[in-house]
Structure 1
């Protein structure tokens, strides 16, 4: 029964991670940490193991969803590689910081992080994209309504933000999409669907770097990986299909609701130990 549960966790993580551009780690890590108190199979899960397993899974969800989004022509490869220049090194630092985290503080910090991201999304309409300098990168995109949308960013600012996102990825095993997608939408004016697709490609690259680091440190339980991968792979493809059908505002609303619920639950578990 516990193995079947892991398969469904992988499916949910792959689907929601691909749908919202999160990578799935923000679902896998909380699920593993919550279930450790209720199942014998997962009783030995530590923050380091949860993060290590999550990052390996994100390599598969990132690859699966990226292939689907490439077919939909929604991935901005230039932006993704520029952001990876920051997220890659940041992920390595995050892996290092993760080694000293105990269970209860980890849950509380992770929960607070999720709620903060949800609040940022709540006030997104009050924020305006940053002005792009003469040396900045300007891009254009034709959305599903056949509208011509322009967006852009400064490579220096983009790399700096991606570095912080990559550090959180290695630290919490979340892929960084929960912060990078809002940043791309709010600060750089990315269309939401394009931000999600581009984020998934960047997550794939960052997950490869940080997961290899966690494997070297012995933070990966391969039995859990084998149980989670099948659901995560097919869930990621399903999420990309659903993403194409949903309006942008619905994507943001779903993301906010999930972050609030999961964040409160993790903080409660960290404070009470239950």
Structure 2
């Protein structure tokens, strides 16, 4: 089989994508999937991945890259004391369960419907965060098992289905409960690891033996693509974490709101265009 020179270009794009995703992981507490998934999906046609599994491969591979990126980001935030370990211990089991369910049921639900719901919610949250005075629903996150269980399970499930880190949902949700934005971002970076591990296992199981997957894949996870992406993301994540602690809380909240708003518009655009 002749060598395709475009593979070098594709590899370069994935390495660049990893660098951008790593900075976003450290800066905003996300696993970078909001960048990685669209890039992998756009490249799927060039790599001859069938349309009916292209999104599954993009999401599964993105989740795999979140594992090392979240570790690098969380370590940087922890050195600055920005991870709330009490909240993490209380929410992590529910996030884990939600992510596992999301990974197993990824091919059951319509991705278009989930994208539309998430896009609407994300846009509302972004508008709230960008306002001079935020909406506060309570002075602290829920302390009851039922309250934190519902929120954490939804965060894990939706994040797994979309191939994103937990920060996209957990940061705005925590700020609704008067949680300091720096600690929300730092804690969300650790949520990324809790989400990615069970979700990746689900996507490997769901895609095992499916025809049309790229070479060297484990289920819906493309190992070469994942390796290229996190080869730079793990080094870029600490830089993003340092930038997060240089910015003021107001500037960080504004940066996250812009990021979340653009993400929501991209998702809603995909819905209205039919995917």
The alignment's TM-score, normalised by the length of structure 1, stands at 0.82
For the Cα contact (< 8 Å) 1:30–1:266, is it kept in 2? no
- Aligned-pair CA distance for 1:103: 6.3
Q: Structure 1 residues 34 and 252, CA, compared in 2 at 3 Å: closer, same or farther?
A: farther
Query: In structure 1, what is the equivalent of residue 204 of structure 2?
Result: 215
Deviations 1:159-213 (A, max 9, x none): 22111101101211112211111111112x2211111111111221221121122
Query: In structure 2, what is the equivalent of residue 141 of structure 1?
Result: none
Task: State how far apart, in whole Å, the 2-side matches of 1:124 and 1:77 are.
Answer: 29
- Aligned-pair CA distance for 1:59: 0.6
Say whether residues 1:29 and 2:37 are aligned partners: yes
Root-mean-square deviation over aligned CA pairs: 2.4
Task: State how far apart, in whole Å, the 2-side matches of 1:57 and 1:72 are.
Answer: 24
Number of residue equivalences: 252
Q: Structure 1 residues 31 and 115, CA, compared in 2 at 3 Å: closer, same or farther?
A: farther
Query: In structure 1, what is the equivalent of residue 27 of structure 2?
Result: 19
Query: In structure 1, what is the equivalent of residue 160 of structure 2?
Result: 170
Query: In structure 1, what is the equivalent of residue 4 of structure 2?
Result: none
Aligned to 1:125, the other structure's residue is in SS state coil
For the Cα contact (< 8 Å) 1:34–1:266, is it kept in 2? no
Task: State how far apart, in whole Å, the 2-side matches of 1:46 and 1:183 are.
Answer: 30
Map 1:1-274; keep pairs closer than 5 Å: 1-36=9-44, 40-41=46-47, 43-44=49-50, 46-101=54-109, 108-109=116-117, 111-122=119-130, 125-131=133-139, 153-156=142-145, 157-187=147-177, 189-217=178-206, 218-272=219-273
Query: In structure 1, what is the equivalent of residue 214 of structure 2?
Result: none
Query: In structure 1, what is the equivalent of residue 3 of structure 2?
Result: none
- Aligned-pair CA distance for 1:69: 1.3
Task: State how far apart, in whole Å, the 2-side matches of 1:246 and 1:228 are.
Answer: 26
- Aligned-pair CA distance for 1:105: 5.0
Structure 1 spans left out of the alignment, 5+ residues:
132-150
Q: Structure 1 residues 26 and 160, CA, compared in 2 at 3 Å: closer, same or farther?
A: same
Q: Structure 1 residues 85 and 104, CA, compared in 2 at 3 Å: closer, same or farther?
A: closer
